[in-house]
Each structure stands twice: as C-alpha cells, then as structure tokens.
Amino acid sequence: MVDILKVEVLGEQLSRKSESFAGLRPSLERILADIHERLTFRARTYIRDEIANYIPINEDLDYPEKLEHSADVVSETTELEKSLKATFEEFIMAVTKQVVDLMLSFVTKITVVKVALSFGTQNKKRDSVIAKALKEQTFATPEALAELVQKVSHF
C-alpha cells in the first residue's frame, strides 16, 4: 500500500497532473508518513510481544514428543481424507449409475424405434406403434421428456 501510494500516486499520477493536483501532494505525503509510522509501530510491537518476550512452555520445548504428535495428527488427517474420498467416490458412482440408467433406458427406446422404423420401411410394413414418429411415442412426449429431465436434474 505504501509503495502504491508513493510510486503510483505521488510519483506518477501527480507528476503528470502536477498543476491541477498540487494541493493534494502535501496531504498524500502526510498520509504516506502516517502509514509508514503505523507499520513501523506494529512491526516493533509484534517483535516485542511475540518474539522478544516469548516465554516457551514445556510443550514447546519437548520436541520429540511435539514432532511425533504432529506426525500423528497428519496421519489421522490422511486417514480421514482417504475415508472421505472413498465415501465421495461411492456416492458419485451411485448417483452416476442412477442418472446413466435413466438416460440409457431412454436411448435404448429411441434406438429400438429407429431400428424398427428403418426395418419397417425396408419391408414396407409398419405396425401402428412403430409407425408413429419418434416425438409421438409415449416415452418421447414433451411431458415424458420434461419428467426425465426433472429426474436427471434432481440428482
């Protein structure tokens, strides 16, 4: 933030438009000095409170135990991740199977009608159910398609 204010605003922007923003420069320089002072103060306070005055407790100094505990936590997390991954994969496969089964059933019906229509055309005879256009088949009506889409999108 300090660099942006110093380089881009004070250095570049105000240099280009020096006459129209000349009165703004002193205010921005004061803001920049204030930001610099606050950052310096916060850095010194952090160093004093968190680093210089740090008093370790026994657990902090018990490094073999602390490292072993950290390794145990990582191991437990890894096991949990493996379990969650297996559960998610199982769920995804189950949902995918349901969706694919619905779509496969629909595609199979379309294929049967198309094959029957082409076979009936070759033999010049069609029975009344197969003679219907695909969109007139009961499984392919707009209502049936809307129901299929709703079932699939429900997953």
Determine, yes or no, domain membership for 138: no
Q: What value does the mean pLDDT of the chain take? A: 81
Determine, yes or no, domain membership for 35: yes
Q: Say whether pLDDT at 76 is over 80.
A: yes
Tell me how far apart the alpha carbons of residues 46 and 4 are, in angstroms, rounded to a whole number.
24
* pLDDT range class, residue 122, cuts 50, 70, 90: low
Determine, yes or no, domain membership for 50: yes
Determine, yes or no, domain membership for 71: no
* pLDDT range class, residue 21, cuts 50, 70, 90: low
Residues 6+ apart with CB under 8 A from 86: none
Burial tier of 122 (Cβ tally within 10 Å: 0-12, 13-18, 19+): exposed
Determine, yes or no, domain membership for 60: no
N-to-C CA span, the chain? 47
Determine, yes or no, domain membership for 140: no
Domain, as residue range, for 13: 1-54
Determine, yes or no, domain membership for 49: yes
pLDDT digits (tens, 9 = 90+) for 42-53: 999 999 998 888
Contact 8, 42 (CB under 8 A): no
Determine, yes or no, domain membership for 26: yes
pLDDT of residue 120: 66
With 0.85 as the threshold, say if the pTM is over it.
Answer: no
Give the distance between the most distant pair of CA atoms in the chain.
97
Number of domains the chain contains: 1
Tell me how far apart the alpha carbons of residues 9 and 27 are, in angstroms, rounded to a whole number.
12
